[in-house]
Structure 1
């Protein structure tokens, strides 16, 4: 695997930190937002791991939280090494710079292939699995042209449009985002393509554990990676209800440009792309439409991008355990509708650091829902 990110800003994790980060993100109820807040508040993953059982108990959990063990994390690291993969932390130089800036960026991703591609400017191309001949041809042509223009093409390794885009961009570089572990690619008919990507003609990334077999609910997470890694997203063909439209919505949420190739209103595979055009997506009939629109955005992700690192004891927001009154006020302010954390702070009058700690407690106890834009709501048991 070649070294990417030369000259880029970032802090390389030590082996101990990488192991601890993996333990923390693999523990129950620790998502990207809670991971970030735990690191910020406790100074390191090691310190945060020690606090997980108590924080979960204070949040009202009815059972002990499962904390990933050192042995579990070591086994996953060994499995990744045998597979030729590495784990890259969000503050490290080889982490995709555009992905780093999205809401809820994964703290750790696993990667196999040409790691240098991770820090190059990327564009997503997605579409129907049951692609038409013309749709696949359009995706391949755009992928080749975008690659020649200096863009890495990112997609989801699915049948149809995804596979056509990957194959056409192997010469210049392609990134495949996986829904399962790197050693569990899907679908089986694209294994030969995946082997070429792994061999260095591309890069495959995932935030799921090694050995994880993808399930239906894992694919929206993969779509989020596709939307986050690229500066823009091109939808070539998509049905009215499809994963490509989920990717397009996430891309729009992240402030990315969304492009759509118009299709015949008589073809159901064009209904989703045509709908995106009605909603304001950029009409796209050639790669030049994408290149011209993205030219200003390509300069946004420069070396001044924010990085995440363990702040250490002297730099953390240290605070005492929230009092019962503070905790009660925060919980009372929450409801089933998403709220902004700043609104909760203003409404309750509770110190910001204390509010964030209460939210961590509730999240670890499984009592908090996190929504796009950093909004939160209280989880209620189904009747």
Structure 2
């Protein structure tokens, strides 16, 4: 792999008359690269196979190779890696989730193998979370980290950071999707200071698809939601505001959590919402955008989420076994669309149970050992049967 070629494809400046359709042009070059076997083969040996218009564009990108090579050198010095969409290390779940919108490259700081984890869940919520929501987020991170799920977050303050700390505290693994470039010093340094042992110890992996030196912007914070959700099997919402609210500048602002939920539905992901007595959470549940996760004496029953996800895995394995045996083709809408194939309609989440809410969600949540042990035994039995 030649990282500089991929960085040029992702971030190189196009002629001004192509800027309005920059994404389409880059995807078209990538399609030709797939036909020839690789981007490197296309640029080094098969450039004349491109239409004349694309040849001009690629040659223009190659003129920017020197500054991009210096940037690649800086990335290597900082221990960051570049993974192209053609690499085996590129997360398969992300390709299936985003289809034609898959980023051509990811910048990775930390252990890259975690991106291929079979079990992962996004834990998301408000930056300005209430104390009880923070407790639930940390408890969720602990629970799923202990159960060998990779916890995926956007690394924002509030719910995100509490989920990260909870997972790391129990020896779990975390993927943090950054809303800035992986070489943006003013944005990255505070995270490195706080989490350097976890990053270099293989427990926390930071990723970004942005230009390496891009600084934080509100639009990047919203755009990273597609990666947070796309890397996960399911999404857990701890606290959300309403879809739109009036900011201090008297302008309407869209909730980032709400945006992530909408993206999850477009990808066919299951969404769970902690049933706190909050306007945003209740609105998501009322509109059918999330399966309510009730609060009981010991807090939310996260085992319910795991059991439902485990059942989906078991059903998928059964369908795949039937396919191999020559049985009628299984319907795998949410699992099979590869890169650049047409988009399939999202699956709507279903809720089979309606539970009673605990009247006092602000209490400290502690796990109940007997309940969790019973649930764990049940899951182990189901796993043995599926094997």
TM range (shorter): 0.5 to 0.7
8 Å CA contact 1:26, 1:68 repeated in 2: no
Shift of 1:67: 6.0
Residues 231 and 256 in structure 1, CA contact (< 8 A), matched pair in contact too: yes
Counterpart in the other structure of 1:294: 309
Q: Aligned residue for 1:86?
A: 81
Q: Report the equivalent of 2:231.
A: 229
Name the residue aligned to 1:243: 256
Unaligned ranges ≥5, structure 2: 15-21, 243-253, 294-299, 325-334, 346-387
Partner in structure 2 of residue 74 of structure 1: 69
Structure 2 CA distance for aligned equivalents of residues 254 and 308 of structure 1: 13
**In 1, distance between residues paired with 2:283 and 2:188?**
27
Contact 1:183 1:211 (8 Å CA) reproduced: yes
Are 2:270 and 1:257 equivalent residues in the alignment? yes
User: Match of 1:195?
Assistant: 196
Instruction: Give the match for residue 103 of structure 2.
Output: 106
153-162 or 196-205: bigger deviation: 196-205
> Secondary structure at 2:129's aligned position in 1?
coil
Confirm or deny: 8 A CA contact 2:8 2:61 kept in the other structure: no
Contact kept, 8 Å, 2:126 with 2:158, in 1: the verdict is: yes
- Give distance in 2, aligned partners of 1:297 and 1:89: 30
Unaligned runs of 5+ in 1: 1-13, 265-269, 310-339, 343-371, 375-383
Q: How far does the alpha carbon of each residue in 1:132-173 deviate from its partner, in whole angstroms, 9 at most, with x for none?
A: 111010011111111111101000110100000011111211
Work out which of the residue numbers 111, 115, 118 in structure 2 matches 1:118.
115
Question: Do structure 1's residue 39 and structure 2's residue 33 form an aligned pair?
Answer: yes
Between the aligned partners of 2:210 and 2:141, the Cα distance in structure 1 is 27
How far residue 22 of structure 1 moved from its aligned partner, in angstroms, is 2.1
Q: Which residue of 2 aligns with 1:278?
A: 286
Instruction: State the alpha-carbon separation in 2 of the partners of residues 278 and 35 from structure 1.
Output: 44
Other structure's SS at 2:184 match: coil
Say what the alpha-carbon RMSD is for the aligned residues: 3.5
Structure 1 residue aligned with 2:17: none
The offset of 1:261, in angstroms, is 0.8
> In structure 2, do the counterparts of structure 1 residues 203 and 179 end up closer, same or farther at CA, with 3 Å as the change threshold?
same
| 1:20 matched to 2:5 | yes
* Superposed displacement of residue 273, structure 1: 2.3
Residues 90 and 307 of structure 1 are in contact (CA less than 8 Å); yes or no, is this contact kept in structure 2? no
Note the alpha carbon deviations across 1:21-40, whole angstroms, 9 max, x for none. 22212234246744543424
- TM-score in terms of structure 2 length: 0.65
Please state how far the C-alpha of 1:287 moved relative to its aligned partner. 1.3
Question: Aligned equivalents of 2:80 and 2:194: distance in 1?
Answer: 17
TM-score (norm: length of structure 1):
0.66
Q: What is the SS of the residue equivalent to 2:230?
A: helix
Instruction: Please give the alpha-carbon distance, in whole angstroms, between the structure 2 residues aligned to 1:307 and 1:255.
Output: 12
Q: Secondary structure at the match of 1:169?
A: helix
Which residue is 2:296 aligned to? Answer: none
Give the paired residue count: 290
Query: Take 1:68 and 1:238, find their aligned partners in 2: how far apart are those partners?
Result: 46
Shift of 1:44: 4.0
2:354 aligned residue: none
Higher relative contact order (CA 8 A, sep 6+): 1
Distance in 1 separating the partners of 2:268 and 2:63: 34
Alpha-carbon distance in 1 for matches of 2:142, 2:75: 31
